[in-house]
Amino acid sequence: MIQSSLLKSSVRLPGTGLHVAIIMDGSGRWAERRGWPRSAGHRAGERAVRTVVEAAAEAGIGTLTLFAFSGANWRRPPAEAARLMEIFRGFFDGQADAHREQGVRVNVIGRRDRLPGALLAAIERAERTAAAGSKLHLRLAIDYSAREAVLEAVARLASSSNLGPRAFTQALAEAIHEAAPAPEIDLLIRTGGEQRLSDCLLWEGAFAELIFSDCLWPDFGKPELAAALAEFHRRERRFGGISEAIAG
């Protein structure tokens, strides 16, 4: 019989305390369909980030992880990757004070050794500025690979006799520049119509509910987030067990 504490996760108030992750896909295609350069789609995607962060805070979501740039995305044309780095820097510099005022704590997960110096400085300023935020924990995954993170965590524990899940989760957090592990993901959304995880949060998302949306990221906003949350709350999460009704 599944434990009642697990069953309760399916009846929480909309958004309350949830960890929602979003693979933000489709910005380039959004621009191409309009005959615009892909960079215009990335700029529109940055505006969608601001909208969704506000909507998540209003909905009572506890942690929001946005998958912005994977380790594999360095394979894109150098000019496009460089433009994305500029957009990220503008976002962190432009939103730091707003995040502090909104109670949004910010941190970036992923590698930092390959990021441009100006972007890294903007990230560190934004993290310091909003460090006291308690309304929403916003995590931006930039130069992030779940496989690389897992391998780095294993390497950190290679000489340790403590190889349990708690120690591994802490090592994984440190590998992606977090002081403490974030809660496991409850809901993972991918926009843009593709139906794959693309090396995103494989450990933390092991039991996440998955929603694949045809909506391209720049068009994803408060109504789309609300619809995804409503779908999440219609599902019964059993974590490998069975419901009491079936068990009876």
Strands (DSSP E) found in 99-165: 104-109, 136-144
Query: 206-210, long-range: CB within 8 Å, 24+ apart, which pairs?
Result: 207/237, 207/239, 208/21, 208/184, 209/235, 209/237
Question: What's the predicted TM-score (pTM) here?
Answer: 0.89
Residue 137 confidence (pLDDT): 97
What does 70-107 look like in DSSP terms, one character per residue? EGGGGGS-HHHHHHHHHHHHHHHHHHHHHHHHHTEEEE
Annotated catalytic residue: which of 25, 107, 143, 186? 25
What is the mean predicted confidence (pLDDT) over 183-203?
Answer: 96
Q: Which residues are bridge partners to 63 per DSSP?
A: 19, 137
Annotated catalytic residue: which of 73, 93, 199, 219? 73
Q: pLDDT band for position 161 (50/70/90)?
A: confident
Q: Is 107 a catalytic residue?
A: no
Which tens digit of pLDDT belongs to each residue from 9-19? Answer: 333 344 558 99
Instruction: Please check the confidence at residue 139 and state whether its pLDDT lies above 80.
Output: yes
Residue 160 confidence (pLDDT): 79
Kindly list the structural domains of the chain, giving each domain's residue range(s) and its CATH number in brackets, ordered by start.
Answer: 4-247 (3.40.1180.10)
Residue 9 confidence (pLDDT): 35
Q: Is 73 a catalytic residue?
A: yes
Mean pLDDT over all residues of the chain?
90
Q: pLDDT band for position 237 (50/70/90)?
A: confident
